[in-house]
Amino acid sequence: MDNLSIVEGADDAAIADWLARVLAEALAATGGPVAITVPGGSTPFPILERMAAMPLDWTRVTVWPGDDRVVPEDHPASNTGRIRALLEPAGAEVVTLTEMEAVPRFAIAWLGMGEDGHVASLFPNTDPRVDEPASIRRLTPHPLPPEAPFDRISLTLPALLASDRLVFVIRGEGKRAVFDAAVRGEHDLPVARLLGAARQPVTCFT
């Protein structure tokens, strides 16, 4: 993949600095709002905490969760609730995913990945397609992760691909092996489908 850059051994501070620089450039390029999508789970929140303290014009940033568990936003498992609590005090607008929402083009589509190759909540059993007509889907992972046994709502592959750049933060040898195999076209898991259709710059922090 000529459009892929892999940054080895990046810590939370380095990733936050990089994301903040890219977001600042996107804000400088337009006088209007800028949309980004961010992942849930344990990895992104220390990075987001650093970004929230940076002197960015958060009042012009609309933040979309890439996916969420179908639970109330005050539930501990809610990605949206955690993102809202962190970034709304900085001035950002945080969107609640619904299937009726019109999805914008993202300046940054920031993703994690599971060891089963899922991105957002597009698990292998949901057969995500790059020609999916919907931008947001409600779906049920199978098997349901025991730590989060809930239905999901997720941006689809076309919604993620409608972005100026894709960014992954991947930790652990197992996930890295799945990602590398996707880059080489050795499987057809959701991450491979996304990468295979990506034409924008893709950056992977490990």
pTM: 0.95
Domain range for residue 79?
4-205
d(CA 41, CA 18): 20
Q: In Å, how far from its chain's centre is CA 26?
A: 17
Stretch (H or E) spanning 105: none
Provide CB contacts within 8 A for 163, sequence distance 6+.
37, 105, 106, 107, 108, 109, 200
> For the chain, what is the domain count?
1
pLDDT score for 69: 95
The CATH number assigned to the domain holding 194 equals: 3.40.50.1360
* Residue-wise pLDDT tens digits, 89-119: 999 999 999 988 899 999 999 999 999 999 9
d(CA 60, CA 94): 11
Answer yes or no: is pLDDT of 147 > 90.
Answer: no
Starting at the earlier edge strand, list the strands of the sheet with 93-94. Answer: 4-7, 202-205, 166-169, 108-111, 34-38, 61-65, 93-94
